[in-house]
Structure 1
Amino acid sequence: MRKDVSAVFLTVQLMLVTSCGSGEDSIRDPVAPQPVPPPSTPTYDYPRVNDGEDMPNVLFIMADDHAISAISAYGNSVVPTPNIDRIAAEGVTFSNAFVTNSLCSPSRAVMLTGKMSHINGVRGNADVFDGSQQTLPKILQQNGYETAIFGKWHLKSEPTGFDYWEVLPGQGRYYKPNFLTPEGRVTEDGYVTDVITDKTLAYLSEKRDKDKPFFLMYQHKAPHRQWWPAMEELSSLTDKVFEEPDTLFYDQSGRGTAAMSAEMTIAQHMALSMDNKVWPRNLPADYSEFLSYAEQEFRDNYVLLTDEQKDRWNAVYQPINDDFMVNPRTERELTQWKFQRYMQDYTAVIKSVDRNVGRVLDYLDESGLAQNTIVVYTSDQGFYLGEFGWFDKRFMYEPSFRTPLLMRWPEKITNPHSIKSFVQNVDFAPMILSALGINVPEDMQGVNAMRVVEQEPDDWVNEAYYHYYDYPAIHMVKKHYGIRTERYKLIHFYDDIDEWELYDLERDPKEINNVFEEPRYSEVLKNIKDTLYRKKEQFEKYEVY
């Protein structure tokens, strides 16, 4: 039965590309009529606590699928990120920031609303965000802020609560990107990370009302799949050999059905053409990859390059293709080759993000805005860089559950340091409101994470709750919810299965040994189940599933 369902959703994966390609045709155009009620603009009564003081600006930077292990401020990074590291060096690094639902659209909706997925209405990537509901930018507008967003939106409905917005349709594309604006769709020449930054800098230098504080969301497509590097970074890492994770060939035997049945392995589910840049004509005759789709997807990206860009692109990737053709590989060797290709392109697109973040930070410094501008850097979730043989996200395991979170505010944060206290993306809106002296709405489910910035309080509760809903769908990760404490993690996979996993993170930080059935953990299990059900009641008392 599962094989039949999987086959259906493999077709969905190929046709809708909600995670793989540009995804533009599969996403409703936000400027077109939507099958939801017209957004209203309610008035919020959340007055400032510190009325009369200078209001700080906020620059909220979000990348897509940026793993902590690809930010050098966190140590042992697969790629240097000197500009992103500037935020950490002059501010705080949250070492235990987590998401509530490791998927693009749900994570963005949680950040905007300060509410869990079942409350804000976006459980999966197919859901349309209700733009009439209360959001962080709307509250800021009511408190005198000018608001703007440039880059990835990925919530299907038209952005509301923004004075300026230019967003990618769906996932967007790396070259010659389209943008949706209040005036309609426009196409820009250039590379998407550069273009988003150009728009952001144009707003800061030319368009904004300089008599108002700003809340600016600067949101990148990169490093989302399919990892097409900018010309500047095209050949920067193609010769680098990346260290393989020691779990690259892990068989999931210490886990359960969910991990074993997920369709996100580098070996079987990473596409040679779409992802690793092998020319479709060079694919083996017996290769079972979705050949026609792979060829079309590859060409859809390649055709966007100018002739000069194609020459530069071919100069880098033709030798890679030649090597692929003349050096036969065993199944294991092919997985290792695909891993190296994946990492080379993934890290190259991150270099573009870092370079462009530097451009914006430089502008803040040069314009005198840096001192009283809160800069936040985060991602919509983490990402697997070969751990357990995977790419993508979705699971509650650490590589995708943890997300980067860095914050700089020179006016208030004068002692750069790392924060161990747990925070989640549902806390981001309350954290920003609190930093600005604006009362947090009572119906926001997040907590004020600013409390841990200056001094971590003894009464802070280090528990992180998670709930993933998007099954059956691309990558076939089963529905699950769970709780993480400082030492333990408990996960319940439900719906078409009923399986539990318990991990002792102190003894097993890589989460490869499920101890749920071990008698020596019986008391631990009882206690953490109580914690899980308490947290579930706190966050999901209105949920039905």
Structure 2
Amino acid sequence: MGLPARAQKLPALGRVPGAQPRNVVFILTDDHRYDFMGFTGKLPWLKTPNLDRLYQGGAHLKNAFVTTSLCSPSRASILTGQYSHVHKVVDNLAPVAPNTIFFPQYLQRAGYQTAFLGKWHMGEEDDAPRPGFNHWESFKGQGEYYNPTLNINGRRVAYQDSTYITDLLTEHALGWLKGRDKRKPFFLYLSHKAVHSPLAPARRHKGRYRYQPYPLPPTYYQTLADDYKALGWPEWVKQQRYSWHGVDYPYHEHISIEQLVQTYCETLLGVDDSVGAVLDYLQQEGLDKNTLVIYMGDNGFAFGEHGLIDKRQFYEESVKVPLLAYCPALFAGGQTITKLVQNTDIAPTVLAAAGLQAPAYMPGRSLLPLLRNPNVAWRDKIFYEYYWEYDFPMTPTVFGVRTDQYKYIRYQGIWDTNELYDIQKDPNETTNLISRPEYAERTQQMANYLYDWLEQTGGMAIPLKRTVKQPFGDYRHPYND
């Protein structure tokens, strides 16, 4: 299930019968967890009118997951339509292989104008123009919220005067849309830095949520409980509580969880403004009914669940992402779809919107049939993988499978317990069922699902990862995580 070489001719894609090429806008955010949107009601004080607007006019895919809950692997899965162990971008340092094909290359060949603006974050030289895009604007690593430097089609431009990155990318995206060749269909990939730490809201939003409460999640203190072992939780999770990605370590400059959430939500408001600006432009140009707009996060984020901060794990708040789709000409608004979808479905979906059938090497499926009919036959499980990182050794290698009811988590390389949860009865993942005799058959079934998937997709060997050697023989990650 490998990728075709870039040096080879792109595989010919079949046409979707009767389909007309549509314009597509894909908006990606960083570390936006699945339930931090106004319409979900998770935080009653959080207002996201433009994300709500996408939902009201389109669909909320409530059970959207990434294959790896980490920036670079997830982004590579979106652009290639492949699992991490196939495209080999398994962490935030692994380079993009020279034979990698990005799905916008198929769009270019079909006559689309394509543009990428924002955070790329794959490989060391990750602000250079990439195949598949006629227009390119990016920055190195995580970039800066204020006064950023952009590589615009090979020319680096530094911005001053308190220029805010979310607003700048939106302004440039709208500029590209206005200046495009209107005789051709377009694909816009707008990839925001927000809401990645260290957080910085736009000045107009700073302090807006300063005094708003954040109730601690029910599993916040689980690793301190007297019956911790009796409930079957892994020891590594308990130890991580005191590490870089735990709640009892000064992960974010000695601020509280509550302050972290407040600043995070203030930073998210700039993204919401960006979504509104794009929707307003499409409406003004009469493009809003027929353009497919997709909004997604690259991975989730824990705010104290299981005593953790960050992502990487296979717990719900880490692996689930917001996913909204909007195209009134194709499907009705106000839908909530509960079927299991993944980031590997994005490439086939955009290709289908362009009237193209996805290449056989992509394991995902177009979401368009599901958006038109939520009762269509669909997958009954999704899979997960995360590979241990030298620079962030607190989280072990993780493999997992999740169905509508159960989640199975298997760890590699540590002497610890695996995990099984009944998500329907226990959505907060409080009680590990792995050692209960009545769940032995279910555990074996889930393990079989997992190993069958790895064997069938070439994932039985953990991919090797390249590191950057620093002075004194130490190895360190060149970017913030």
1:233 alignment counterpart: 205
Structure 1 residue 197 corresponds to structure 2 residue 170: yes
> In structure 2, what is the Cα distance between the partners aligned to 1:48 and 1:91?
25
The worse-fitting range, judged by mean Cα deviation, of 488-497 and 137-146 is 488-497
The worse-fitting range, judged by mean Cα deviation, of 98-107 and 414-423 is 414-423
> In structure 2, what is the Cα distance between the partners aligned to 1:167 and 1:131?
19
Counterpart of 2:263, as a letter, is D
Structure 1 residue 55 corresponds to structure 2 residue 21: yes
| 3-state SS in 1 of match to 2:222 | coil
1:290 alignment counterpart: none
* Structure 1 position 47, deviation (Å): 4.3
1:212 alignment counterpart: 184
1:409 alignment counterpart: 327
Of residues 468, 487, 493, the one that matches 2:386 is: 468
Counterpart of 1:89, as a letter, is Q
| 3-state SS in 2 of match to 1:239 | coil
The answer to whether the 8 A contact 2:26-2:295 is kept is: yes
Counterpart of 2:208, as a letter, is S
Structure 1 residue 395 corresponds to structure 2 residue 313: yes
Counterpart of 1:146, as a letter, is Q
* Structure 1 position 544, deviation (Å): 4.7
> In structure 2, what is the Cα distance between the partners aligned to 1:73 and 1:209?
36
The answer to whether the 8 A contact 1:258-1:493 is kept is: no
Counterparts of 1:349-360 in structure 2, within 5 Å, are: 349-360=267-278
User: Unaligned regions of 5+ residues in structure 1, if any?
Assistant: 1-37, 277-337
1:144 alignment counterpart: 111
1:439 alignment counterpart: 357
> In structure 2, what is the Cα distance between the partners aligned to 1:200 and 1:125?
26
* Structure 1 position 250, deviation (Å): 2.6
Counterpart of 2:27, as a letter, is I
| 3-state SS in 2 of match to 1:388 | helix
Counterpart of 1:186, as a letter, is V
1:258 alignment counterpart: 236
2:287 alignment counterpart: 369
2:97 alignment counterpart: 130
| 3-state SS in 1 of match to 2:383 | strand
Count of aligned pairs between the two proteins: 443
* TM-score relative to the length of structure 1: 0.77
How large is the RMSD of aligned CA atoms in angstroms?
2.0
Of residues 26, 31, 34, the one that matches 1:68 is: 34
| 3-state SS in 1 of match to 2:361 | coil
> In structure 1, what is the Cα distance between the partners aligned to 2:10 and 2:308?
46
**Taking structure 1 as reference, are residues 147 and 243 closer, same or farther at Cα in structure 2, changes over 3 Å only?**
same
> In structure 2, what is the Cα distance between the partners aligned to 1:229 and 1:464?
34
Counterpart of 1:512, as a letter, is T
Q: Deviations over 1:41-64 (max 9, x none)?
A: 84341143347x642100000110
Counterpart of 1:385, as a letter, is F
Q: Deviations over 1:17-37 (max 9, x none)?
A: xxxxxxxxxxxxxxxxxxxxx
**Taking structure 1 as reference, are residues 265 and 506 closer, same or farther at Cα in structure 2, changes over 3 Å only?**
same
1:117 alignment counterpart: 84
1:16 alignment counterpart: none
Counterparts of 1:446-461 in structure 2, within 5 Å, are: 446-457=364-375, 459-461=377-379
Structure 1 residue 270 corresponds to structure 2 residue 251: yes
The answer to whether the 8 A contact 1:47-1:143 is kept is: no
| 3-state SS in 1 of match to 2:347 | helix
| 3-state SS in 2 of match to 1:243 | coil
The answer to whether the 8 A contact 1:109-1:120 is kept is: yes
Asked which structure has the greater CA Rg, the reply is 1
> In structure 2, what is the Cα distance between the partners aligned to 1:475 and 1:362?
45
1:166 alignment counterpart: 137
| 3-state SS in 1 of match to 2:151 | strand
2:57 alignment counterpart: 90
Counterpart of 1:178, as a letter, is T
| 3-state SS in 2 of match to 1:179 | strand
> In structure 2, what is the Cα distance between the partners aligned to 1:213 and 1:535?
37
> In structure 1, what is the Cα distance between the partners aligned to 2:272 and 2:393?
29
Structure 1 residue 489 corresponds to structure 2 residue 392: no
1:179 alignment counterpart: 150
Q: Deviations over 1:386-418 (max 9, x none)?
A: 222322110000001111111001111134311
* TM-score relative to the length of structure 2: 0.87
Counterpart of 1:134, as a letter, is I
Counterpart of 1:204, as a letter, is L
Counterparts of 1:338-349 in structure 2, within 5 Å, are: 338-349=256-267
> In structure 1, what is the Cα distance between the partners aligned to 2:457 and 2:146?
40
The answer to whether the 8 A contact 1:64-1:380 is kept is: yes
* Structure 1 position 341, deviation (Å): 1.2
1:380 alignment counterpart: 298
1:335 alignment counterpart: none
The answer to whether the 8 A contact 1:472-1:478 is kept is: no
Counterpart of 1:224, as a letter, is H
User: Unaligned regions of 5+ residues in structure 2, if any?
Assistant: 464-481
* Structure 1 position 131, deviation (Å): 5.1
Counterpart of 2:295, as a letter, is Y
* Structure 1 position 91, deviation (Å): 0.9
Report % sequence identity: 35
The answer to whether the 8 A contact 1:492-1:498 is kept is: no
**Taking structure 1 as reference, are residues 475 and 187 closer, same or farther at Cα in structure 2, changes over 3 Å only?**
farther
2:444 alignment counterpart: 526
> In structure 1, what is the Cα distance between the partners aligned to 2:12 and 2:23?
21
Counterparts of 1:94-105 in structure 2, within 5 Å, are: 94-105=61-72
Counterparts of 1:278-297 in structure 2, within 5 Å, are: none
Of residues 218, 225, 228, the one that matches 1:246 is: 218
* Structure 1 position 354, deviation (Å): 0.6
The answer to whether the 8 A contact 2:30-2:299 is kept is: yes
2:397 alignment counterpart: 479
The worse-fitting range, judged by mean Cα deviation, of 171-180 and 251-260 is 251-260
Q: Deviations over 1:411-465 (max 9, x none)?
A: 1113431111111111111122123220110111212332311113463222010
